[in-house]
Structure 1
Amino acid sequence: MSGLKSPASDHPFASRKSLNQINNKLFTGVVWLVGICTIIFIIALLFLILEKGLPKLSWDFLYGEPSEIEEGGGIGPLLFNSFYVLVISLIISIPLGMAAGIYLAEFAPANKFIAFIRICVEGLASVPSIIFGLFGIVLFVQSLDLGLTIVGAAVSLAFLNLPVLTRVTEEAIRSVPQEMKHASFALGSTHLQTIRRVLIPVALNGIVTGICLVAGRAFGESAVIILTGGVTSSGVMWDFSPLSPGATLAVHLWYVQSEAIVPDAKLIAEKSAAVLVFIVLMINIVFRVPMWINARKLR
């Protein structure tokens, strides 16, 4: 009997394997529980906001002019300003942010100066938005003497989005497998052709995700707009003048809850919050359509 081998279950490695399996199942259960709780919380929060405001919406509210004193004001000019400021800021920030990200990923030398630039970009990406609002006041209101305008708000938002877009683009380009890049060079493509036809299409999902983040943040931003665009609009529904006051829907929501004296301020705030959340969700869906199309092409 002394010459017989002990059972496999008595081996120390077997007991360690069993303990690892228990830890793995425990960790998986905790991750699932946290994930499900987070999703339920987000859905409940969205449902609470949308359930209070969406059923009370009307075309008069969406197209009407805001009122300072009387009951029943709308959000038409403010909603238009929100999209106008968002579009201008994205037109400025997307090309510049993508160009800077591509440069850092493909052309920038690996030295201490470029490393310092990356640290600065990462630092700016985490700077509070009110700092960019103060910068906008100095540049547009004081130095250029333009006052509180749509163009000042849009450019300040573009500055706010630039660091995030730069870092997202750089990381998305760097995540592309080097084999694809080398294969493109081996087929005779130039560096520019490789970036246009290989790197950007493959990295498009990450880039579009970054654009979704900055677009949603810009649409719901209030601190920058208050300081550079003001808290009022021109009162005209389709005012394309970039020098008009640039209050947006997010600013109006803050103003109604804190400063306005209209009798139905709570109702206006609930409906404005529902519209704001709904549009941010739609922005994310619209920007993800190219991701779905790109994924189908790569299959």
Structure 2
Amino acid sequence: MNAKTKDKIATGVFVAVAAFIVLLLAGLLGYILFRGVGHISFDFLTSAPETIRKGGGIGPQLFNSLFLLVLTMIITIPIGLGAGIYMSEYAPANRMTNAIRLIVEVLSSVPSIIVGLFGLLVIVNLFGFGFSLFSGALALTVFNLPLMVRITEQGLKGVPREQKEASLALGLSKWKTITSVMLPIALPVILTGTILSAGRVFGEAAALLFTAGMSSPRLDFADWNPFSPFSPLNPFRPAETLAVHIWKINSEGIAPDAEQIAAGASAVLVITVLLFNFFARWLGRYLYRKFTAIK
């Protein structure tokens, strides 16, 4: 067998594997959307589960998921970026730094149920935050920080050394070089890590069962006082997210149309994740062009 034949065989194998993965994902998404899109309506997206006998609804759960995403990203992104920048540009190369990297990698593989139990014991009980969106956001931060730190560090290390040295040679400070030269170049990589982190927020259920809770107070969307117990903007209230709601509906089996509600909620969850990914990538391209002056 000559080299050209081997190359064609290897290329065919890789193409077949890639096509299989694409078809598998397309089939999974198509199946979820096919089962659920027919159950989506304006009332379904805005009404509460209390109207379950009228067809149910996921309005509060959808809002809780989006609100939890915002809270988690507000905590995760600054800390993750700061830690990644420190590990890449400021941390000395010694055993302590290597140990920190090892700990970060181990944390990224901890099962979600363990993080949930940790959140229950420490965040909910010890710190006294109770079952709340804030507790859930802190627990999910434990999930997302390792990924954000490693992605940021690898993105900054992937910046060509010549560009960094040229910036320093022109008299820019190290911090100015990081913020004006290195971060814009590493932005696509960092954005990918942010999207992956956000996807875990949308789909996580096990950790939120022990931190955010499995029920929500009846929300008053006319009350925007964040200190009111019935305000949707209160981060210290119990909150049932969309992923938890899907699990709860299927496990309890109380609703007569539980299967239809779960199918519709699953389709909404998938569509929300897809829309978030498209928006995040558009924002990343916009920021990249703005920071690097590339049209």
Give the distance between the partners of 1:294 and 1:236, measured in 2 at CA.
36
Preserved CA contact (<8 Å) 2:167 2:177: yes
Q: Which amino acid aligns with 2:217?
A: S
What is aligned with 2:36? 53
1:281 matched to 2:264: no
Preserved CA contact (<8 Å) 1:71 1:264: no
Give the distance between the partners of 1:32 and 1:24, measured in 2 at CA.
12
Aligned with residue 241 of structure 1, among 207, 211, 234: 234
1:44 matched to 2:27: yes
1:103 matched to 2:96: no
- Partner deviation per Cα, 1:199-224 (whole Å, 9 max, x = no partner): 00000000000000000111111011
Give the distance between the partners of 1:45 and 1:237, measured in 2 at CA.
36
Give the distance between the partners of 1:113 and 1:294, measured in 2 at CA.
35
Preserved CA contact (<8 Å) 2:184 2:288: no
1:63 matched to 2:63: no
C-alpha spacing 1:283/1:233, structure 2 compared with 1 (3 Å): same
Give the distance between the partners of 1:243 and 1:73, measured in 2 at CA.
26
What is aligned with 1:136? 119
Preserved CA contact (<8 Å) 1:77 1:234: no
Aligned with residue 254 of structure 1, among 247, 262, 276: 247
1:227 matched to 2:227: no
3-state DSSP class of the match of 1:67?
A: helix
What is aligned with 2:224? none
C-alpha spacing 1:132/1:112, structure 2 compared with 1 (3 Å): same
Preserved CA contact (<8 Å) 1:67 1:262: no
Preserved CA contact (<8 Å) 1:68 1:261: no
Q: Which amino acid aligns with 2:249?
A: V
Number of aligned residue pairs: give it. Answer: 282
- Deviation of the 1:260 alpha carbon: 3.6
- Partner deviation per Cα, 1:137-161 (whole Å, 9 max, x = no partner): 0123221333211111111111211
1:123 matched to 2:116: no
- Partner deviation per Cα, 1:263-282 (whole Å, 9 max, x = no partner): 00000000000000000111
CA RMSD of aligned residues (A): 1.5
Larger radius of gyration: 1
Give 1:74-113 correspondences, 5 Å limit: 74-113=57-96
- Deviation of the 1:293 alpha carbon: 2.5
Give the distance between the partners of 2:233 and 2:205, measured in 1 at CA.
20
3-state DSSP class of the match of 2:2?
A: helix
Preserved CA contact (<8 Å) 1:230 1:247: yes
1:21 matched to 2:14: no
Q: Which amino acid aligns with 1:190?
A: S
Q: TM-score, normalised by structure 1?
A: 0.91
Q: TM-score, normalised by structure 2?
A: 0.92
1:291 matched to 2:288: no
- Which 10-residue stretch deviates more, 53-62 or 287-296? 287-296
Give the distance between the partners of 1:280 and 1:81, measured in 2 at CA.
14
- Deviation of the 1:289 alpha carbon: 1.0
1:185 matched to 2:168: yes
- Partner deviation per Cα, 1:206-253 (whole Å, 9 max, x = no partner): 000000000011111101111101111112154111221121000000
Any gaps of 5 or more consecutive residues in structure 1? 1-17
- Deviation of the 1:71 alpha carbon: 4.6
Preserved CA contact (<8 Å) 2:45 2:59: yes
3-state DSSP class of the match of 2:218?
A: coil
What is aligned with 1:147? 130
- Partner deviation per Cα, 1:158-197 (whole Å, 9 max, x = no partner): 1211111000000000000000000101111000110011
- Deviation of the 1:298 alpha carbon: 3.5
Percent of pairs identical after alignment? 43
Q: Which amino acid aligns with 2:60?
A: P
Any gaps of 5 or more consecutive residues in structure 2? 222-231
Give the distance between the partners of 2:29 and 2:42, measured in 1 at CA.
22
